[in-house]
Amino acid sequence: MDSILIESRDSITDFGTDDFHNIYYIRNFSELNKIDFQTKKRKTFSNQTVLEDLNTQNVLQITLKSALFNLLVLDNQLNPVQDVIQFPMETNFSPTLTALVDNNFLWGYDPVLQRLVLWNYRDKKAIRQSVILSEKTGDEFYSEIVYHQNKIYLVGSKKILRFDEYAQLESVIPFQEFGQIYVRPPYIYYSQKNKLFELNLNSKESWEIALQKGLDYFSVNNRFLFVLKDKVVYLYEFQKNL
């Protein structure tokens, strides 16, 4: 098991990796850092606002929230690829959850509209939307949206809704409270109370992944499980193909 030390005196408030094995983390809600897996060189990005909700599951672009709910889109060299996307929009589209599709589109979940909306963020217009999502119970709320391999996963504390690329509901997957979540079909990886679990999307079975050091944050890419504990990143190589 390899490990990488993150040299920072400040707290780490978010964490992720990409399919090139690069490591990203937010320092003290204020500065995004990238550690190159090969060279171990560090790059930084800051816009003098609060930074949070780091999402690195897109291969070439990453997103994070800035200030209240401004969405930043960066390439994997931490360069902004377009102007800040500001919500709510003039069309009353005000998503609380977003997932980048490519360099023109994102999926957003708007809890007021109770819909998934495919949004062209360059032209500022809606392209596609789901039916009203009435599956949610009164004591439940959706807290994560993931776009992966032309599927949309809307994650709540009791269930995961999986949609196709046209926002048609495909399946409802029983779920539970979680910390972080990563989708790598046919598996979903999620943390809960400092433990890590793997959920099989086909069998709906879930089991704990044994970790040697515990975890503060984790991330998954096409080869490794990255676990951050006390500012050390531990790499676990998967035995099966993700």
Q: Which among 70, 67, 98 is positioned nearest to 82, based on CA atoms? A: 70
Domain-embedded: residue 103: yes
Say which residue the tokens 């790598």 belong to. 184
Domain-embedded: residue 145: yes
Using a 10 angstrom Cβ sphere, with 0-12 exposed, 13-18 middle and 19 or more buried, the burial of residue 78 is: middle
Domain-embedded: residue 171: yes
Rounded CA gap, 163 and 131, in Å? 11
Domain-embedded: residue 41: yes
Strand order in the sheet with 42-45: 12-17, 23-27, 31-35, 42-45
Where residue 75 sits, what CATH number does that domain have?
Answer: 2.130.10.10
Q: Beta-carbon neighbour count of residue 180 at 10 Å?
A: 18
Domain-embedded: residue 190: no
Q: State the chain's maximal CA–CA distance in angstroms.
A: 50
Q: Where are the alpha helices (DSSP H) in the chain?
A: none
Q: Which two tokens stand for residue 133?
A: 């999502």
Q: Beta-carbon neighbour count of residue 143 at 10 Å?
A: 15
Query: Beta strand pairing status for 12-17 and 23-27?
Result: antiparallel
Write phi, then psi, for 89 (nearest 5 degrees). -85, 165
Query: Beta strand pairing status for 206-209 and 217-220?
Result: unpaired
Q: Which amino acid is at 158?
A: K
Domain-embedded: residue 111: yes
Rounded CA gap, 124 and 162, in Å? 25
Enter the DSSP assignment of 149.
T
Which structural domain, as residue segments, surrounds residue 18? 7-180
Q: Kindly give the confidence (pLDDT) of every residue in the chain, 242 residues in length, as a single tens digit, with 9 standing for 90 and above.
A: 688 999 988 999 999 999 999 999 999 999 999 999 889 999 999 998 999 999 998 877 899 999 778 899 999 899 998 889 887 766 678 898 999 998 789 999 998 889 999 999 888 888 999 999 875 555 678 999 999 999 999 999 889 999 999 999 999 999 988 999 999 999 999 999 899 999 999 999 999 999 988 899 999 998 899 999 999 999 998 755 44
Domain-embedded: residue 201: no
Q: How many domains does the chain have?
A: 1
Domain-embedded: residue 20: yes
